[in-house]
Amino acid sequence: MIIELNQNIMDSNNSRADEIRKILAEHNLVMINIISSPGSGKTSLLEKTLGELGKNFRLGIIEGDVNTTRDARRLEGFGLPITAVNTRGACHLNSTIILKALDELPLSNLDCIIIENVGNLVCPSEFDLGEHAKIALSSVPEGDDKPQKYPLLFREAKCLILNKIDLLPYVPFDRKVFYKDIENLNPKLPLIETSCITGEGLDTWIKWITDFITTNRTPG
Amino acid sequence: MHEFSIAQNIVEILIQAVEDNRLVKVESITIEAGELRQIVPESLEMGFDALKTEIGSPPAIKDCRLNLVIVPQKVNCMDCHCHFYPEELCYICPDCGSINTEVMEGDKMIIKSIEGETD
């Protein structure tokens, strides 16, 4: 006999993501999930963001790493609450991991939690973590073809950062191709160019994230 | 390799369905995966085959076949209400040029059905 199930395969992950949304709402917290390839500059961007953003908001960090806690250690100097999550080889964070990580953060004393996902363009995009926004980070040396190759992330993201633009003169990266592909894939996606070396564009990014957190928190 | 996590979810749901319906043997399970999910069929099958025969898995599922159907994307234009397939990943409406579009099909992963036997 044939039994119709019509069940979403991601149901168990999604229901835990709903639990996370409830916890975030109770604490009036905004959660951001940064996703990119390994080496595109997630930790560097955070190093350049946390100081400035920390002036307006009380921040907490969930630092995902496949192995080691090196990225978490890089951010220790900011004196912010950080939970280092080691996926022990798994290529993405899921809502169970985040739910546990939230337990270790002082939620009542925070305004915003930033998740640095495991470096990977495919798997992290699949998993709803209960976050308010996925932020995609792409970098110039990776090439201009990433949106075409990994469409899901660029569809799901609420903001896209093109990092390492200081390398534009040295590597073959066709800005027109990149911009055209993004316009086709997700015409409403804000695209911000940054360089963590020269500092270019960082003020635009910090303004975007400041506005996003403010809009998504209930005043008072 | 998000396929392995996905296979884990599939097997969990399958085991639950076996219990709920008191199945003694499951012939096949049919999965519909949206094209946008970028599932590699071989990887999903490999994960599923490893998990269904794992020690502790119910014997009823050990010969279960995985049928994977890839669902192409279908996009709805919220302005002119036409439906289109996003050629070369372009989600701008080909009829009216609107950017107010939404994916209707081809972005989900669903277990459609299982085929099995009861006592």
Q: How would you classify the pairing of strands B23-34 and B65-71? A: parallel
Name the average pLDDT for chain B.
94
3-state secondary structure of A200: coil
Q: What residues pair up with B12 in beta bridges, in sequence order?
A: none
Structure tokens, A30: 């905004």
At A49, the pLDDT band (50, 70, 90 cuts) reads: very high
User: In Å, how far is B38's CA from the nearest CA of chain A?
Assistant: 8
Look at A1-15, A36-50, A59-73, B102-116 and tell me which has the smallest mean pLDDT: A59-73
pTM of the model: 0.91
Look at A66-70, A174-178, B2-6 and tell me which has the smallest mean pLDDT: A66-70
Of the two residues A66 and A126, the one the predictor is more confident about is A126
Prediction ipTM score: 0.88
User: Chain B contacts of A152, Cβ < 8 Å?
Assistant: 36-38
User: Chain B contacts of A186, Cβ < 8 Å?
Assistant: 91
What's the per-residue H, E or C state across A82-113? EEEEECCCCCCCCHHHHHHHHHCCCHHHCCEE
Judging by beta carbons within 10 Å of its beta carbon (0-12, 13-18, 19+), is residue A21 exposed, middle or buried? middle
Contact A8 B17 (CB under 8 A): no
Q: What's the CA angle centered on A156, arms A174 and A61, to 5 degrees?
A: 100
| Over residues A138-145, mean pLDDT | 97
3-state secondary structure of A192: strand
The pLDDT score that the predictor gives to residue A53 is 97
pLDDT at position A219 over 80: no
| Over residues A184-195, mean pLDDT | 97
pLDDT at position A117 over 70: yes
The pLDDT score that the predictor gives to residue A123 is 86
At A81, the pLDDT band (50, 70, 90 cuts) reads: very high
pLDDT over 70 percentage in chain A: 100
For chain A, the residues whose C-beta falls within 8 A of a C-beta of chain B are: 1-13, 90-92, 94, 122-123, 126-127, 147-148, 150-152, 155, 181, 183-188
The pLDDT score that the predictor gives to residue A90 is 78
* Helices B2-21 and A11-26: angle between axes, nearest 10 degrees: 100
pLDDT at position B1 over 70: no
The pLDDT score that the predictor gives to residue A89 is 74
Look at A91-95, B31-35, B114-118 and tell me which has the smallest mean pLDDT: A91-95
Q: What residues pair up with A165 in beta bridges, in sequence order?
A: none
The pLDDT score that the predictor gives to residue A65 is 83
User: Chain A contacts of B92, Cβ < 8 Å?
Assistant: 183-184, 187
